[in-house]
Amino acid sequence: MTTQEIFQLMNENPVFHLATADGDQPRVRGMLLFRADENGIIFHTASTKDLYKQIMKNPKAEMCFSGNGVQVRVTGILEQVFDEHLKEEIFAHPSRAFLQAWKDNGIDNLLQIFVMKNCSAVTWTMESNFDEKKPIHIC
């Protein structure tokens, strides 16, 4: 797959699994992608979540996307984003209507945005099941 095909798969299949570390214990949970492109892979969480605390202690993570018989695993470092324009874009996006209550109730500061940059991806299909994994730099 090309880098653009990988981003297309991610954006068309925005539910992904995110693996972080909690001490020596791996933790995996389903997440909702905001956007993926050559500038990074953007998602958000709340500052009250265990996920937020895990990322702040250890920003190394892996994401797993799947769609159309292809699995894409992305490995990299998560960076916290402090961009008010992006925050407003997230609140205004139709797929994030569930966040509007935070804004309406004055608790929009709970929203924490992260981007994975300097990341590499490997792809998997049934056909390539036993092939050597060849990571490619995507963002």
Q: Which domains does the chain have, with CATH numbers?
A: 3-132 (2.30.110.10)
- CA-CA distance, 16 to 89, in Å (whole number)? 21
103 has pLDDT over 90: no
What was the pLDDT predicted at 94? 93
Judged by DSSP in three states, 86 sits in: helix
- One-letter identity of residue 35: R
| Backbone φ and ψ of 65, nearest 5° | -110, 150
If one counts every other C-beta atom within 10 angstroms of the C-beta of residue 88, the result is 12
Question: Does 104 score more than 90 pLDDT?
Answer: no
Taking a C-beta distance cutoff of 8 angstroms, is the pair 81, 113 a contact? yes
CA–CA dist 113, 90 (Å, integer): 9
Q: What percent of the chain has pLDDT over 70?
A: 100
Please say if the pLDDT value at position 92 is more than 90: yes
Candidates 15, 120, 26; CA nearest to 66 is 15
Compute the half-sphere exposure of residue 3: CA atoms within 13 Å on the CB side of its CA: 12
Q: Residue 3 pLDDT more than 90?
A: yes
Residue 116: what pLDDT?
98
- Which of 73, 56, 55, 52 minimizes the C-alpha distance to 64? 73
